[in-house]
Amino acid sequence: MRASQFFISTLKEAPSDAEIVSHQLMLRAGLIRRLAGGIYSWLPMGLRVLRKVENIVREEMNRAGAIELLMPAVQPAELWQESGRWEQYGPELLRFKDRHQRDFVIGPTHEEVITDIARREIKSYRQLPRHFYQIQTKFRDEIRPRFGVMRGREFLMKDGYSFHTSFADLQREYASMHATYTRIFSRLGLQFRAVAADTGSIGGSGSHEFHVLADSGEDAIAYCPAADSDYAANVELAEALAPAATRAAPELMLANVHTPGKTRCEDVAALLDLPVQRMVKTIAVVRNELEVGAPGWFCLILLRGDHDLNEIKTQKLLGDFRFASDEEIKRAIGCLPGYIGPVDLRFAHMIAVYADRAVINMSDFVCGANAEGYHLTGVNFGRDVPEPYQVDDFRNVVAGDPSPDGKGLLEICRGIEVGHIFQLRTKYAAALKCTFLNESGQPQTMEMGCYGIGVSRIVGAAIEQGNDERGIIFPAALAPFEVVIVPMGYHKSEAVRAAADRLLGDLAAAGIDAILDDRDERPGSMFADWDLIGVPHRVVVGERGLKEGRLEYKGRRDAEAQMLAAAEVPAFLQ
Ligand code: ATP
Ligand code: MG
Ligand code: MG
Ligand code: MG
């Protein structure tokens, strides 16, 4: 490849709304450009990186026996009504009508579509097991898209779905996928950790998330560093497994909710991913500063009906939630009417109560909020709400807690969720009547697994792990080009041009993905561009070196350049 025939569009400064380093660098290096909130174009340089991730994922999925297909982004509402998710999914699901007023969604995930395919195509146990996957664009109307492609609204996912005759066979495939994911993230050159994750309403122990370790990660992971322990879980799960003394009555939920400036029912419902009609009232709001020190609002809300608490999905910005005891709820609520302190800060959280099982008379404290914005009146932060307090005050599981495996104390670190595998069991297959005829000719519901990888998120996550003051440092497997050839005077020196062209040909012949920077730019600005873009190897072709038959080599992480015999360069780079 020649730079003059490619497209390089670097920026000196990142736009000010780019909060984290990977987002800044992806913009500066010209990998992506923003079209709308959470919606990005991949420029040619970025697309090369995305494709490299995609190809590694594809190779390993194929190696593991999964079969690639491609499903539509647009899905009819009927399938979602059949699975029940038309009701349950909440505002992250983008719904629209076609010209005939028929309802559709843009797929945030494809369980319904693949289950529909399986129930139509697979009739007999002889056709099972099967694992289908695709690498496809998803849309989720994230409440707070941010960090560039890391939490986009439109993003690229690898999603796989496996179908089985028995739970045992699903477990076999699940273990194989666990190993496959481990291989994929290792090949991508990422530092990662697999953690046990909550299976929510499905129950059981069949879910793991794969996290790239990074301080900017939106997720918290609890793990035990003891040499003989392999305990690692996301904090939601770690909390669910916390000792009974700190757990509680399941019908009441006490949660901290970081709802910056958002106090209306609709907003809180959106944050909780709940259908609005289920949320009866936002009763009271207390200003607080939680969630890594950011100012936020914590509110008391009343929910209607019979929720499975596990189905209330909190987005990461909400912080964690846990079940509260009756006693805690009473004490918390006792503090709130009219808001006259002192408040036990641990309860200045959102409290969701199942109306039909409430242990307290809600009318006792509904008066506590002013009607209009539902804010409490006369609350003086600092006077009524004592300081200081710690984020950890609001968690059941904190660093230093005993590890559930009894092998040491827990530590907490942050991660970026790049993969998630899940034993769905018969959740979708039962709802969509996806059956096969078993060996005795009887219809039987299929067992199902699902396996996701955030292909586009990985690019951001890799940059969070690999960067310095000059720019991106890509793992070799992800870099848009493996090598850049930078000639000193390509347009001035016959010798330089001939040597640079020859090297480009030799590298191509050796199967090395190289780019020759034949732009008419100053050396300093070419070096700066390639350091910013994060190409791992740089070869400088200069007249002086050529006289001795030598080229200058520098690795992206190297402090010093070194001279190499020109003929040795292709072998050196292999
Ligand atoms: P998160 O907890 O970050 O919202 P999720 O648990 O909702 O992710 P899954 O439904 O498990 O996501 O989807 C599979 C994978 O898709 C995730 O592990 C993640 O890598 C990726 N992904 C999910 N949401 C986004 C997004 N908004 N932008 C980019 N990638 C995403
Ligand atoms: Mg999500
Ligand atoms: Mg998640
Ligand atoms: Mg997930």
Q: What is the pLDDT of residues 489-517, one digit of tens each?
A: 999 999 999 999 999 999 999 999 999 99
- Stretch among 62-76, 316-330, 364-378 having the lowest mean pLDDT: 364-378
Q: For residues 27 and 349, which has the higher predicted lDDT (pLDDT)?
A: 27
Rg (CA), the chain: 27
Q: What is the 216 CA–ligand 1 centroid distance (Å)?
A: 16
Q: Is the CB of 418 under 6 A from ligand 1?
A: yes
Residue 299 has pLDDT above 80, yes or no: no
Tokens 């494709």: give the residue: 51
Average pLDDT (34-53) is: 98
Report whether pLDDT(247) > 80.
no
Say yes or no to pLDDT of 248 above 50: no
Rounded Cα–Cα distance for residues 117 and 293 (Å): 47
Q: Which residues lie across from 321 on neighbouring strands?
A: 255
Question: Is 253:71 a contact under the CB 8 Å cutoff?
Answer: no
d(CA 447, CA 428): 9
Mean pLDDT for 83-92 is 88
The pTM assigned to this predicted structure is 0.77
Question: Coil, strand, or helix at residue 319?
Answer: coil
Kindly give the distance from the C-alpha atom of residue 59 to the centroid of ligand 4, in angstroms, as a whole number.
22
Supply φ then ψ for residue 352, to 5 degrees. Answer: -110, 130
Span 447-453, mean pLDDT? 97
Which stretch of DSSP H or E encloses residue 120?
A: helix 111-121
The span from the CA of 223 to the CA of 213, in Å, is 12
> Which of 12-16, 167-171, 175-179, 335-339 has the least mean pLDDT?
335-339
Cis peptide, bond prior to residue 260, ω within 30 of zero:
no
Is the pLDDT at 37 greater than 50? The verdict is yes
Tell me the C-alpha distance between 518 and 499, whole Å: 12
Q: How far is the CA of 556 from the centre of ligand 1 (A)?
A: 31
Q: What is the mean pLDDT of residues 135-161?
A: 95
Per-residue pLDDT at 93: 94
* Ligand 1 and 531: CB distance under 6 A: no
CB 551 within 8 A of CB 503: yes
Q: How much is the average pLDDT of 188-201?
A: 84
Q: State whether the beta carbon of 542 lies less than 6 angstroms from ligand 1.
A: no
* pLDDT surpasses 80 at 340: no
Q: Is 457 in the pocket of ligand 1 (CB under 6 A)?
A: yes
Report d(CA 92, CA 85) in Å as an integer: 11
Q: DSSP letter at 394?
A: G
Measured CA to CA, the distance from residue 478 to residue 461 in angstroms comes to 12
CB-based contacts of 1, cutoff 8 Å, min separation 6: 481, 513, 514, 515, 516
| pLDDT averaged over every residue in the chain | 78
541 lines ligand 1 (CB under 6 A): no
Q: How confident is the model at residue 365 (pLDDT cuts 50, 70, 90)?
A: very low
Range 302-320 average pLDDT: 40
In this structure, of 120-124, 193-197, 464-468, the range with the lowest mean pLDDT score is 193-197
Give the pLDDT score at 268.
56
Q: Which residues have their alpha-adjacent CB atom under 5 A from ion ligand 3?
A: 417
Q: Which pLDDT does position 313 carry in this prediction?
A: 43
Check pLDDT > 50 for residue 238: yes
H-run or E-run covering 450: strand 447-454
How far is residue 136's CA from residue 115's CA, in Å, rounded to a whole number?
Answer: 17
Choose one of 190, 417, 455 to mutate for the ligand 1 pocket test, by most ligand atoms within 8 angstroms of C-beta.
Answer: 417
Collapse the DSSP code of 335 into the 3-class scheme (helix H, G, I; strand E, B; otherwise coil) and give the result: helix
Poorest-pLDDT segment among 206-220, 319-333, 449-463:
319-333
Q: Is the CB of 155 under 6 A from ligand 1?
A: yes
- What average pLDDT does the segment 254-275 reach? 49
Q: What is the pLDDT of residue 405?
A: 81
Answer yes or no: is the C-beta of 141 below 6 A from any ligand 1 atom: no
| Higher local confidence (pLDDT), 374 or 527 | 527
Mean pLDDT score, 342-365: 31
Q: To the nearest whole percent, how much of the chain has pLDDT over 70? A: 70
Residue of minimum CA distance from atom 24 in ligand 1? 151
390-428: b or e for each residue (b if 16 or more CB lie within 10 Å)? ebeebbbbbeebebbeeebebbbbbbbbbbbbbbbbbbb
pLDDT class for 35, splitting at 50, 70, 90?
A: very high
**Lowest mean pLDDT: which of 266-275, 365-374, 398-407, 546-555?**
365-374
Going by pLDDT thresholds of 50, 70 and 90, the confidence category of residue 237 is low
108 lines ligand 1 (CB under 6 A): no
Residue nearest to atom 18 of ligand 1 (CA): 419
pLDDT score of 200 more than 50: yes
What is the arithmetic mean of pLDDT over 216-236? Answer: 86
Mean pLDDT over 264-291 rounds to: 46
* Ligand 1 atom 13 nearest Cα: 452
Residues 58-69, mean pLDDT to the nearest whole number: 98
Higher pLDDT: 530 or 289? It is 530
Mean pLDDT of all residues in 462-482: 97
Locate the ligand 1 atom nearest the alpha carbon of residue 109 and give its number. Answer: 10
Measured between alpha carbons, how far is 448 from 436 in angstroms, rounded to an integer? 13
What's the whole-number mean pLDDT along residues 297-320?
A: 40
Ligand nearest to the CA of 210: 1
Strands 471-472 and 279-290: unpaired
Answer for the pair 362, 302: CB distance below 8 angstroms, yes or no: yes
Residues in the chain: 574
Which of 457, 458, 463, 464 is the pocket-test mutation for ligand 1 (most atoms within 8 Å of CB)? 457
SS3 annotation, 104-153: EEECCCCHHHHHHHHHHHCCEHHHCCEEEEEEEEEECCCCCCECHHHECC
Average pLDDT (331-355) is 34
- The pLDDT of residue 376: 33
**What gap in Å lies between CA 64 and CA 59, rounded to an integer?**
9
Q: Which atom of ligand 1 is nearest to the CA of 142?
A: 27
What pLDDT, on the 0 to 100 scale, is given for residue 203? 55
Check pLDDT > 80 for residue 245: no
Q: Whose CA is nearest to atom 23 of ligand 1?
A: 454
Is the CB–ligand 1 distance for residue 449 below 6 Å? no
Residues 6+ apart with CB under 8 A from 60: 180, 183, 184, 187
108 vs 351, higher pLDDT: 108
Nearest CA to ligand 1 atom 4: 315
Give CA–CA dist 142/154, Å, rounded.
9
Which has the higher per-residue pLDDT, 328 or 365? 328
Which of 400, 403, 415 lies closest to 228 in space, CA to CA? 403
- Structure tokens given for 107: 């797929």
Q: Span 183-198, mean pLDDT?
A: 93
Distance CA 173, CA 170 (A): 5
Tell whether the model's pLDDT for residue 408 goes beyond 70.
yes
Gap from CA of 151 to ligand 2 centroid (Å): 9
**Distance in Å, CA 351 to ligand 4 centroid:** 25
pLDDT at 404: 75
Taking CA 139 as the corner, what is the angle to CA 196 and CA 59, rounded to the nearest 5 degrees? 60
Of 140, 142, 157, the residue with max ligand 1 atoms within 8 A of its CB, to mutate for a pocket test, comes to 157
Res. 206: pLDDT tops 50 = yes
The answer to whether 83 touches 108, Cβ cutoff 8 Å, is no
Q: Does residue 158's CB lie within 6 angstroms of at least one atom of ligand 1?
A: no
Instruction: Place 220 in a pLDDT band, splitting at 50, 70 and 90.
Output: confident
Report whether residue 452 contacts ligand 1, using a CB cutoff of 6 Å.
yes
Contact of 386 with 356, CB cutoff 8 Å: no
Q: Which residues contact 412 (CB under 8 A, 6 or more apart)?
A: 220, 221, 222, 223, 235, 397, 398, 399
Distance 140 CA to ligand 2 centre (A): 8
What proportion of the chain, given as a percentage, has pLDDT over 90? Answer: 61
pLDDT given for residue 559 in this prediction: 94
Residues at Cβ < 5 Å from ligand 4 ion? 420
What is the average pLDDT across 298-310?
A: 42
Residue nearest to atom 8 of ligand 1 (CA): 417
Pair of tokens at residue 360: 């307290």
Q: Where are the beta strands (DSSP E) in 498-548?
A: 514-516, 537-541
What is the rounded distance in angstroms from the CA atom of residue 425 to the CA atom of residue 204? 10
Dist. CA 311 → ligand 1 center (Å): 16
